[in-house]
Amino acid sequence: MTKYIFRRLIWSGVVLIGISMIVFVITYVVPADPAHMIAGPRASPEVLEAIRHQLALDQPLPAQYIRYMSNLLHGSLGTSWRTKREVRVIIAERIPATVQLAVAAILVQLLIGLPVGLVSAVKRGTWADRLGMIVSLTLVAAPTFWLGLILLYLFAFKLS
């Protein structure tokens, strides 16, 4: 069992490194220039070069990745160029709302999903089972952005 857990931990590390590489490459390949986004469209070439130097964007790609991983491992997520605040602080401020939303979602899933699942298991092959399956599959297959807008409209405007 210990060997299995150790193997899973090693593979988790490999997956995390792979994901970090993919995220880094995607942010590098995106055609937007961070220096232009920070300085604005009318910035002089000197200002753009200073921002690139400050962000170490003038370094080779492997050096940028090593710096990125070093900062990530030390818990430094950088500074938001929009708010000029540390990203770590911004994320920490939003954790309570995220936890509240996750707990509410789990409770709704339990309050609706558990009874539907129990009815489907007990009344297997009946109309209740089929209705539960149809509603469940429809809600799972529906795009979340669309379903969210429909539920928002229903609960915020129609039922209030």
Given pLDDT bands bounded at 50, 70 and 90, which one contains residue 78?
A: confident
Report phi then psi at 56, rounded to 5.
Answer: 60, 30
Whether residue 160 has pLDDT greater than 80? no
Given pLDDT bands bounded at 50, 70 and 90, which one contains residue 95?
A: very high
Q: Is 72 exposed, middle or buried (0-12, 13-18, 19+ CB in 10 A)?
A: middle
CA dist 153 → 67, 98, 106, 135, 142 (Å): 46, 22, 22, 19, 16
Residue 26 CB coordination number (10 Å): 9
Render pLDDT for 111-138 as a digit per residue (tens, 0 to 9).
Answer: 998 999 999 999 998 999 999 999 989 9
Write down the pLDDT at residue 147. Answer: 87
Q: Are 50 and 42 in contact (CB under 8 A)?
A: no
Write down the pLDDT at residue 55. Answer: 84
Q: Which residues pair with 79 in a beta bridge?
A: 86
